[in-house]
């Protein structure tokens, strides 16, 4: 019964989305306020109904209702409760339900917090959101119904893939989807602006915080996925340039560009048209990612052709939204007035440089990801584009951008002085040179490593120097500097943290790839191996029994200078239901570095295959991402960005009613398309 309620709620959400697709936009075209006002309640209604549907599916999984196909295929009565819940989105149908739940969540948030938006803009935005939602509800109901029943119901389920039975599945997909789908808001705002034919001041104020929120989640989601792969897969890799990873990385690159161009738009009223295009592209890449992951096209073009139902549906959605929005853009954009002028060497110029390189980086990833598909379609032959290609080509382009990262914030708006900016960064440059020399000197020949470390220090020190210059550290009395730091806007803090975080990521990557130590050997109990300055001794094997698996763990004691510092217990797990085994790695963190052990098979002589890694500074890769996300949060909490806090003096009195309203207090007048 609960399952049917869930199914029915999803149908109701679809029906509401259809209403929301038409009524508000009709209202905004005809100036009918009542029709426009239907948008917010129907968005909230959608959220309610999708939430009911999701709750029903979670319930079915928790009580192990094996009359539901989705539960049978992905659950088992003995599975721990946490994985019964996370297993809901650990499969195609459930993850699509999570997708629309988050879409409805964002729609609901716009409805709730959009009170101060011009009514027609709000109506259009929510209508566009509803178009996306309708398409995906229809997709779920037609091709991927998570509520399908099976009769007779089997007594037991097939269990969830053991690799997914991990805390990572609880966190990674929701974070990633919050990011992916969050960019739909920027998309809807862009399309709404194009439909209206004007870019409101409200537009700029709204797009930045929503993109920022989505970007924070996507950053954390990607970092989390990377760490999950790192500890789960057992060979110490953390990024594989797999098409599925690229699918989440491309919206991140485009979204990062979007954040930067939105700054120019907000501060200087320039790059408006480009920002609109980026908003469209970012979400288009999210949709493309969904298509790549969900259609099975990645495995092979042929696999896609044999079971095309879902793939073709998503491809249709993809073409409709990307093609439609780009057509709308091509039609409407020429009518939008370009904004302010600036010299090539200026803050705006630096941000354009940033956008150019991020977009090119994104294009490289896109071409590299799709090239094997296109190549196979064109020639019938298969080709691989793997990590060695991406590392080389993407790395080369992005390194140029990274060199420029500290320079940009040092340039003045409108017209800057590159030489003066470089002079103010002398300390960062000196530190970078010292760091590079310190790496290069003892190990002559490691020129790439030296350059990489230099680059990382340059970016990190550059962020700190810029911050110090803002608060006049050591140039003014300390108390003065402190009060300046307190008065520093959140966005400034955000930039400092985000840029510093990038430096941390680079340092982590360079260090991990250059100084990674590895031992692969067969160890017998009692044997000792030294790695990274630690003595690792295999004490013995311990058989254990888990809730739905049995495992063979190896006990290693870790000593440094004869003193035991910790112990590690990597294991091999056997899951009876699916007859699959997994290798659980064990990791000890020392400072920013990690000791990593994976266990292989034990042979007849009692020797176990063991892989040990010493990964210096590896955690900086993920900590750097967390610092970047924290920077995003600082920027998000900036008072000036807070939606609903435009100019306090005009709180009462002026009400936005419709497209005819021109807000005299707004920083930038609406741009009309004529």
Site for another protein in 278-297 (CB under 8 A): 289, 293, 296
Nearer to another protein, 107 or 173 (CB): 173
Binding to another protein, residues 315-374 (CB under 8 A): 338, 341, 344, 352, 356-357, 359-360, 363-364, 367-368, 371
- The token pair that represents 141 in the structure block: 């109901």
Which of residues 97, 164, 317, 450 is near another protein by CB under 8 A?
A: 164
| Site membership for another protein, residue 413 (CB under 8 A) | no
Instruction: Answer whether 537's CB lies under 8 Å from 525's CB.
Output: no
Binding to another protein, residues 135-154 (CB under 8 A): 150, 154
| Site membership for another protein, residue 446 (CB under 8 A) | no
Smallest distance from another protein to CB 552, Å? 10
| Site membership for another protein, residue 592 (CB under 8 A) | no
- The token pair that represents 245 in the structure block: 């990873």
Cα–Cα distance, 505 to 223 (Å, whole number): 10
Q: What angle do CA 208, 405, 211 make, to 5 degrees?
A: 15
Residue 487 CB-half CA count within 13 A: 9
Nearest to 156 by CA among 83, 57, 82, 64: 64
| Site membership for another protein, residue 583 (CB under 8 A) | yes
Instruction: Answer whether 325's CB lies under 8 Å from 191's CB.
Output: yes
**What's the 3-state SS for 195-206?**
HHCEECHHHHHH
| Site membership for another protein, residue 611 (CB under 8 A) | yes
Smallest distance from another protein to CB 221, Å? 9
Instruction: Please report which residue ranges of 166-200 form alpha helices under DSSP H.
Output: 167-196
**Quick one: which segment of 22-30, 40-48, 463-471, 573-581 binds another protein (CB under 8 A)?**
573-581
| Site membership for another protein, residue 457 (CB under 8 A) | no
| Site membership for another protein, residue 248 (CB under 8 A) | yes
Which of residues 22, 26, 31, 73 is near another protein by CB under 8 A?
A: 73
**Quick one: which segment of 52-60, 202-210, 447-455, 578-586 binds another protein (CB under 8 A)?**
578-586
Nearer to another protein, 17 or 287 (CB): 287
Nearer to another protein, 44 or 322 (CB): 322
What are the CA-CA distances from residue 606 to residues 492, 554, 585, 611, 625 (Å)? 59, 12, 20, 16, 42
| Site membership for another protein, residue 543 (CB under 8 A) | no
Nearer to another protein, 338 or 533 (CB): 338
Cα–Cα distance, 146 to 116 (Å, whole number): 38
Give the DSSP H or E segment for 596.
strand 593-602
Smallest distance from another protein to CB 29, Å? 20
- 401-432 burial, b at 16+ Cβ within 10 Å, e below that, comes to bbeebbbbbbbebeebeeeebeebbeebbebb
Distance of CA 242 to the CA centre of its chain: 15
Binding to another protein, residues 74-93 (CB under 8 A): 74, 89-92
Nearer to another protein, 137 or 227 (CB): 227
Distance of CA 110 to the CA centre of its chain: 21
Which of residues 232, 527, 539, 638 is near another protein by CB under 8 A?
A: 232
Give the DSSP H or E segment for 353.
helix 347-379
Binding to another protein, residues 95-114 (CB under 8 A): 95
Smallest distance from another protein to CB 335, Å? 14
| Site membership for another protein, residue 667 (CB under 8 A) | no
Cα–Cα distance, 280 to 278 (Å, whole number): 5
> In this structure, what DSSP letter does residue 68 have?
B
| Site membership for another protein, residue 606 (CB under 8 A) | no
| Site membership for another protein, residue 298 (CB under 8 A) | yes
Which of residues 115, 142, 383, 420 is near another protein by CB under 8 A?
A: 383
**Quick one: which segment of 30-38, 183-191, 448-456, 580-588 binds another protein (CB under 8 A)?**
580-588
User: What is the number of H-type helices and E-type strands within the chain?
Assistant: 22, 12
- The token pair that represents 547 in the structure block: 């809730």
Which of residues 41, 80, 387, 533 is near another protein by CB under 8 A?
A: 387
Nearest to 395 by CA among 370, 367, 372, 365: 365
- The token pair that represents 91 in the structure block: 């499969």
Nearer to another protein, 45 or 349 (CB): 349
- Please report the sign of the dihedral spanned by the C-alpha atoms of residue 538, residue 541, residue 546, residue 549: positive
Instruction: Answer whether 541's CB lies under 8 Å from 526's CB.
Output: no
Give the DSSP H or E segment for 558.
strand 550-560
Q: Name the CA dihedral angle for 457, 461, 463, 467, rounded to a multiple of 10 degrees.
A: 170
| Site membership for another protein, residue 397 (CB under 8 A) | yes
Smallest distance from another protein to CB 58, Å? 15
Smallest distance from another protein to CB 600, Å? 4
Q: If binding means CB under 8 A, how many residues of this protein chain bind another protein?
A: 93
Smallest distance from another protein to CB 162, Å? 7
Give the x-and-dash track for 191-230 against another protein (CB under 8 A): ----------------------------------xx-xx-
Q: What angle do CA 249, 390, 90 make, to 5 degrees?
A: 40
Nearer to another protein, 449 or 496 (CB): 449
> In this structure, what DSSP letter does residue 648 have?
G
- The token pair that represents 521 in the structure block: 């050997």
Smallest distance from another protein to CB 319, Å? 22
| Site membership for another protein, residue 520 (CB under 8 A) | yes
Smallest distance from another protein to CB 225, Å? 4
Instruction: Answer whether 354's CB lies under 8 Å from 260's CB.
Output: yes
Question: How many Cβ atoms from other residues are within 10 Å of residue 100's Cβ?
Answer: 27
Nearer to another protein, 18 or 363 (CB): 363
| Site membership for another protein, residue 441 (CB under 8 A) | no
Which of residues 78, 488, 581, 643 is near another protein by CB under 8 A?
A: 581
Nearest to 255 by CA among 222, 286, 230, 231: 286
Give the x-and-dash track for 626-665 against another protein (CB under 8 A): ----------------------------x-----xxx-x-
């Amino acid at each position: 019964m609960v399952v049917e309620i869930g199914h029915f709620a999803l149908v109701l959400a679809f029906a509401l989305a259809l209403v929301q697709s038409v009524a508000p936009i009709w209202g905004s075209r005809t100036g009918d306020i009542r029709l426009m006002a239907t948008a917010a309640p129907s968005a909230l209604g959608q959220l309610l109904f999708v939430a009911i549907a999701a709750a029903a599916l979670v319930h079915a999984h928790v009580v192990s209702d094996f009359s539901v196909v989705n539960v049978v295929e992905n659950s088992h009565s003995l599975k721990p409760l946490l994985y019964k819940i996370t297993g809901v989105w650990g499969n195609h149908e459930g993850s699509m339900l999570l997708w629309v739940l988050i879409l409805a969540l964002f729609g609901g948030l716009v409805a709730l917090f959009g009170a101060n938006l011009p009514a027609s803009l709000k109506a259009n935005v929510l209508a566009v959101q509803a178009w996306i939602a309708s398409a995906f509800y229809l997709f779920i109901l037609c091709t991927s119904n998570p509520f399908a029943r099976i009769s007779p119901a089997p007594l037991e389920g097939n269990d969830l893939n053991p690799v997914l039975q991990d805390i990572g599945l609880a966190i990674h997909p929701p974070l990633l989807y919050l990011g992916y789908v969050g960019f739909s808001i920027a998309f809807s705002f862009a399309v709404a602006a194009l439909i209206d034919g004007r870019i409101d001041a409200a537009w700029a104020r709204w797009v930045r915080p929503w993109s920022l929120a989505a970007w924070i989640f996507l950053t954390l989601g990607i970092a989390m996925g990377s760490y999950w792969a790192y500890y789960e897969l057992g060979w110490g890799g953390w990024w594989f340039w797999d098409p599925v990873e690229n699918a989440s990385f491309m919206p991140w690159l485009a979204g990062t560009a979007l954040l930067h161009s939105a700054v120019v738009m907000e501060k200087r009223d320039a790059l408006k048209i480009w920002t609109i295009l980026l908003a469209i592209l970012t979400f288009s890449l999210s949709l493309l990612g969904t298509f790549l992951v969900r259609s099975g096209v990645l495995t092979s073009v042929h696999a896609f052709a044999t079971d095309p139902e879902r793939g073709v549906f998503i491809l249709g959605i993809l073409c409709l939204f990307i093609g439609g929005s780009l057509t709308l853009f091509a039609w409407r954009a020429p009518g939008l007035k370009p904004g302010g002028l600036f010299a090539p060497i200026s803050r705006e110029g630096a941000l354009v440089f940033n956008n150019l390189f991020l977009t090119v980086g994104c294009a490289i990833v896109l071409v590299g990801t799709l090239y094997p598909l296109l190549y196979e379609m064109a020639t019938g032959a298969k080709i691989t584009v793997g990590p060695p290609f991406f590392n080389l080509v993407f790395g080369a382009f992005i390194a140029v951008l990274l060199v420029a990262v500290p320079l940009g914030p040092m340039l003045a708006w409108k017209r800057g002085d590159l030489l003066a900016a470089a002079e103010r960064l002398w300390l960062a440059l000196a530190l970078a040179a010292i760091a590079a020399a310190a790496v290069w000197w003892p190990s002559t020949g490691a020129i790439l490593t030296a350059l990489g470390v230099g680059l990382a220090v340059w970016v990190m020190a550059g962020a700190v120097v810029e911050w110090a210059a803002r608060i006049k550290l050591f140039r003014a009395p300390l108390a003065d500097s402190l009060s300046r730091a307190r008065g520093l806007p959140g966005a400034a803090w955000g930039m400092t943290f985000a840029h510093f975080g990038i430096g941390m990521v680079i340092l982590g990557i360079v260090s991990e790839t250059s100084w990674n130590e590895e031992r692969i050997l067969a160890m017998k109990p009692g044997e000792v191996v030294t790695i990274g300055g630690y003595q690792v001794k295999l004490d013995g094997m311990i058989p254990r029994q888990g809730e739905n698996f049995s495992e063979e763990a190896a006990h290693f004691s870790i000593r440094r200078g004869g003193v035991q510092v910790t112990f590690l217990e990597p294991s091999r797990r056997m899951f009876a239901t699916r007859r699959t085994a997994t290798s659980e790695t064990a990791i000890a963190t020392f400072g920013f570095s990690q000791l990593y052990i994976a266990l292989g098979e034990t042979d007849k002589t009692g020797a176990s295959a063991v892989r040990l890694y010493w990964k210096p500074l590896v955690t900086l890769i993920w900590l750097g991402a967390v610092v970047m996300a924290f920077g995003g949060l600082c920027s998000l909490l900036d008072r000036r960005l807070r939606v609903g806090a435009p100019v306090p003096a005009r709180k009462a009195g002026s009400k936005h009613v419709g497209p005819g309203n021109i807000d005299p207090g707004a920083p930038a007048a609406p741009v009309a398309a004529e």
